[in-house]
């Protein structure tokens, strides 16, 4: 049965400013210099791309332990709606140092640490800032109520610490875990998000979407692929694996995507109001570090890839699309060859998926999975809501500590 009450609309987004103005758009090789690791809080100019970069954490100095302080994931916003606050994740990673795993709240403009967030999401990545209300975030919680396990969807008000239970899913608590699946964020109008419930034993998992307006869930369906249902920015469409679903018509697929959904893919709006999957594609043509597939029409285009003269896609690629106030702009981090001598190796780039403009903004200096922290050292860029800042994590050429850095574009620096 279809849940009603969700205001679904496809809106043509207002034109965004050219964030690549004043930034390198050439395709020349710009070898990465082997600079020493910068000090926390000391801005420096990227010597090849001339953007402003600031190291904003020093986990070793701040905790006395080896570990990681980094953004949660590229598909999950680090900043809140007005960029006044920012969340980073702390973990010991693979160091065995005993550093506690916590979500940390920072000032989104000065980058000063504010507090440890007293929240218990079911997965470190499963936290969604509301795209409109800067004081609100959502997460699926693993909690205990009256001595019993409870799987709940929580609306958390940061300023007060109040946790409001939007819905309780007791079957998930008894037999498995409630989560967001492979998180690709939620409807940008704040009306809907996807949920996934793992079941016990060999029973697999189920998935649905949750209407934040009516506070009701849709019909649960089997989830065979592990990604869960992910609501697109318009709030009208969703994806479940390669299946595209029109939520106004129920949970049955209306078509299938051409590209792979699990190649570090996420979702974004297009200028005409359609929804798109934005991903890195290595196994399905067309290849690329940024490949855009229109979910409404099936049209596929390459923004960064061989079809644009960029060569085969670089490994260790992650795309971030959560620039809510600058729709169309996305960031991508690429590891590639660790020497960083060739185009896009060890680089972070910015692109507009509507116009095709691409610019290169910084070297990230991280070893990724080749370093001692492996997964935790992947740069995993996260774009800001305004699009003029990007966070990335780096072990800075193989350190056991992974810290967070912010890139500030020239358009941001003019406003300082």
Place of tokens 């079941």: 199
Instruction: Tell whether 8 is covered by a domain.
Output: no
Q: What is the pLDDT of residue 300?
A: 98
Q: Is the pLDDT of residue 385 over 60?
A: yes
pLDDT bin (cut points 50, 70, 90) of residue 146 is confident
Closest to 395 (Cα-Cα) out of 66, 107, 64, 79:
66
Q: What CATH number does residue 287 fall under? A: 2.130.10.10
Q: Which domain holds residue 279?
A: 42-414
In three state form, how does the secondary structure of 206-272 look?
A: EEEEEECCCCEECCCEECCCCCCEEECCCCCEEEECCEEEECCCCCCEEEECCCCCCCCCEEEECCC
Instruction: Tell whether 29 is covered by a domain.
Output: no
Is the torsion defined by CA of 57, 157, 80, 278 positive or negative?
A: positive
Label the pairing between strands 347-352 and 229-231: unpaired
Q: What is the pLDDT of residue 174?
A: 73
Pick from 76-80, 174-178, 305-309, 379-383: least confident? 174-178
Q: Which residues contact 98 (CB under 8 A, 6 or more apart)?
A: 65, 92
Residues across the chain? 416
d(CA 222, CA 43) in angstroms, rounded, equals: 49
pLDDT bin (cut points 50, 70, 90) of residue 10 is very low
pLDDT (mean) for 100-117: 98
Instruction: Tell whether 193 is covered by a domain.
Output: yes
Q: Which residues contact 146 (CB under 8 A, 6 or more apart)?
A: none
Q: What is the pLDDT of residue 43?
A: 96
Instruction: Tell whether 10 is covered by a domain.
Output: no
Q: Which residues contact 61 (CB under 8 A, 6 or more apart)?
A: 40
pLDDT bin (cut points 50, 70, 90) of residue 136 is very high
pTM of the model: 0.95
d(CA 236, CA 106) in angstroms, rounded, equals: 33
CB atoms within 10 A of CB 172: 26
Q: Is the pLDDT of residue 75 over 90?
A: yes
Q: What is the pLDDT of residue 414?
A: 56
How many folded domains does the chain comprise? 1
Q: Is the pLDDT of residue 235 over 60?
A: yes
Q: What is the pLDDT of residue 262?
A: 86
Q: What is the pLDDT of residues 324-380, one digit of tens each?
A: 999 999 999 999 999 999 999 999 999 999 999 999 999 999 999 999 999 999 999
Q: Is the pLDDT of residue 142 over 90?
A: no
Instruction: Tell whether 249 is covered by a domain.
Output: yes
Instruction: Tell whether 17 is covered by a domain.
Output: no
pLDDT (mean) for 46-55: 96
DSSP string, 60-98: HHHHSS--EEE-SBTTB-SB-TTSSEEEEEEE-TTS-S-
Instruction: Tell whether 24 is covered by a domain.
Output: no
Q: What is the pLDDT of residue 3?
A: 42
According to DSSP, residue 332 is labeled E
pLDDT (mean) for 383-409: 98
Tokens for 18? Answer: 């050219």
Question: Three-state SS for 80?
Answer: coil
Q: What is the pLDDT of residue 15?
A: 62
pLDDT bin (cut points 50, 70, 90) of residue 59 is very high
Instruction: Tell whether 37 is covered by a domain.
Output: no
Question: Three-state SS for 411?
Answer: helix
What are the helix and strand counts (H, E) for the chain? 3, 30
Q: Is the pLDDT of residue 94 over 60?
A: yes
Which position has the higher pLDDT, 200 or 33?
33
d(CA 242, CA 337) in angstroms, rounded, equals: 30
pLDDT (mean) for 264-279: 97
Q: What is the pLDDT of residue 38?
A: 97
Closest to 238 (Cα-Cα) out of 263, 214, 218:
218
pLDDT bin (cut points 50, 70, 90) of residue 403 is very high
Q: What is the pLDDT of residue 111?
A: 98
pLDDT (mean) for 1-16: 46
pLDDT bin (cut points 50, 70, 90) of residue 165 is very high
pLDDT bin (cut points 50, 70, 90) of residue 2 is very low
d(CA 28, CA 19) in angstroms, rounded, equals: 20
What percent of the chain clears pLDDT 90, i.e. is strictly above it? 88
């Amino acid at each position: 049965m279809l849940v009603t009450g969700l205001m679904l609309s496809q809106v043509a987004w207002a034109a965004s400013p050219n964030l690549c103005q004043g930034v390198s758009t050439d395709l020349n090789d710009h070898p990465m210099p082997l600079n020493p690791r910068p000090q926390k809080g000391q801005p420096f100019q990227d010597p090849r791309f001339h953007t402003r970069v600031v190291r904003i954490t020093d986990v070793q100095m701040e905790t006395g332990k080896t570990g990681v302080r980094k953004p949660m994931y590229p598909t999950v916003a680090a900043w809140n709606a007005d960029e006044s606050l920012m969340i980073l994740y702390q973990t010991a990673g693979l160091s065995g140092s005993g550093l506690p795993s916590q979500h940390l709240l920072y000032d989104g403009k000065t980058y000063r640490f504010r507090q440890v967030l007293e929240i218990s999401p079911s997965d470190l990545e499963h936290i969604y800032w509301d795209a409109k209300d800067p004081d609100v975030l959502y997460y699926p919680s693993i909690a205990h109520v009256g001595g019993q396990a409870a799987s709940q969807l929580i609306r958390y008000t940061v300023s007060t610490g109040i946790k409001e239970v939007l819905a309780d899913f007791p079957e998930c608590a008894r037999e498995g875990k409630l989560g967001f699946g492979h998180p690709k964020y939620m409807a940008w109008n704040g009306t809907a998000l996807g949920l996934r419930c793992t079941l016990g034993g060999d029973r697999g998992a189920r998935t649905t979407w949750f209407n934040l307006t009516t506070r009701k869930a849709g019909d649960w369906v089997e989830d065979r692929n592990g990604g869960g249902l992910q609501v697109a920015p318009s709030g009208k469409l969703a994806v479940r694996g390669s299946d595209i679903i029109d939520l106004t018509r129920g949970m049955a697929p209306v078509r299938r995507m051409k590209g792979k959904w699990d190649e570090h893919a996420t979702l974004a709006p297009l200028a005409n109001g359609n929804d798109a999957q934005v991903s890195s594609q290595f196994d399905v043509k067309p290849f690329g570090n940024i490949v855009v597939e229109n979910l409404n029409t099936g049209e596929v285009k390459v923004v960064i890839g061989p079809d644009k003269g960029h060569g085969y896609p670089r490994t260790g690629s992650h795309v971030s699309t959560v620039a809510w106030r600058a729709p169309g702009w996305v960031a991508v981090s690429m590891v590639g060859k660790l020497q960083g001598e060739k185009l896009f190796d060890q680089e972070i780039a910015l692109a507009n998926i509507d116009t095709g403009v691409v610019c290169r903004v910084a070297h990230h200096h991280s070893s990724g999975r080749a370093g001692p922290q492996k997964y935790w050292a992947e740069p995993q860029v996260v774009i800001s809501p305004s699009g003029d800042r990007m966070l990335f994590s780096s072990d800075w050429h193989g350190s056991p500590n992974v810290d967070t850095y912010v890139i500030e574009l020239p358009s941001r620096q003019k406003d300082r």
